[in-house]
Amino acid sequence: MANDRVVLDETSLLDGEARLQTAPLAAFLEVLESIFAHSKSRLLYSSAVFSMLTRDGVPLLQLLYPSRNQSSAERDTLRRFQILLSKGHSFENEREVLSIKDTLVESHGLTYAFQENAAARYKIAAQLMARFEPGRLPAEDDDETGHLWLMNAHPDYLAFMRELAVRESPTPEAFWQACPILFPNLIIHERATKQTKTLSQSFENSLPDLVEHLAAINDHFATCHRESKGDRETIIDAFFLRSKVTISPESPNTHKNKKAMAARLVTLDHQPDKEIECEWHSKIKPHTDRIYFSIPQAETGKIVIGIICDHLPT
């Protein structure tokens, strides 16, 4: 990831009267701080940001400095922003540091949009910015290549972090430690982390599939389960349409096998007396490699990933 670039576009910092809202800024900072926790990530920002004006002609940067009439929480948020900005890298024109190979439109780029904002030509700037869809773009820096990441919302951030995990090939321990960030709707049971050795490929080679399947379960299963009202066939079809990942519950024959069903039960440390059934499973390969998981828990709405292995007995 050393050559990747991340660009974040935040357009909701001001209210209707051009006053700074620190709540959106705080949420924005959470993304920035998470990215900065990875030493191989860089924050790039245009020097034109220093001359951007609000609709009332006030320099935007002036609003991003703490003032006495703000609450302590608001001042703390702005100080966090200043610290992060000081660690970033400024550039005059993004075409001097980045050459986007697959441009989506013919335009002067992000710096031009910033400059148009400074001239209060918001509709033009907004249209230019809107032409860049969230996601990954190939980019060049001199003789090196990397990627430009555009993020407009939290799901875009999750997609970036998940690809970062795959590209950096972390150790199993590092990956499982990062899972609460990568898959916030999942609880990864300790048993799941210890049985991946039985998968048909090494952990490193299995990682892209693991990330894809865990992301699909995190992002879509609860919605499919809720909207399908528990109907299993409807859940299977809806989940595949959303994620292109195949899942299924256990068959009636497996349900008749008490020993087999017992192998799909796990308990959590804070609820040692409650057994959680993980009969739903995603199919990494047609005949092997399974991720066994529960339905969303009533108390938290989270899904428990109970077992990750080649295949449980049926």
Which residues, including other chains, have CB under 8 Å from residue 177's CB and lie 6 or more apart? none
CB 200 within 8 A of CB 310: yes
pLDDT beyond 90 at 18: no
**Residue 132 or 80, more confident:** 80
Closest CA to 292 of 256, 253, 254: 254
Q: At what angle do helices 203-216 and 232-243 cross, to 10 degrees?
A: 120
Model confidence pLDDT, tens digit, residues 163-174: 888 888 889 999
Confidence bin at 102 (pLDDT 50/70/90):
very low
Domain residue spans of the chain: 5-153, 169-309
What is the tens place of the pLDDT at every residue in 126-163?
333 444 566 776 655 556 666 666 666 667 778 888 88
Is the pLDDT assigned to residue 36 strictly greater than 60?
yes
Q: What is the DSSP string of 275-302?
A: EEE--EEEESSSSS-EEEEPPPPTTT--
CB atoms within 10 A of CB 244: 9
* H-run or E-run covering 95: helix 94-97
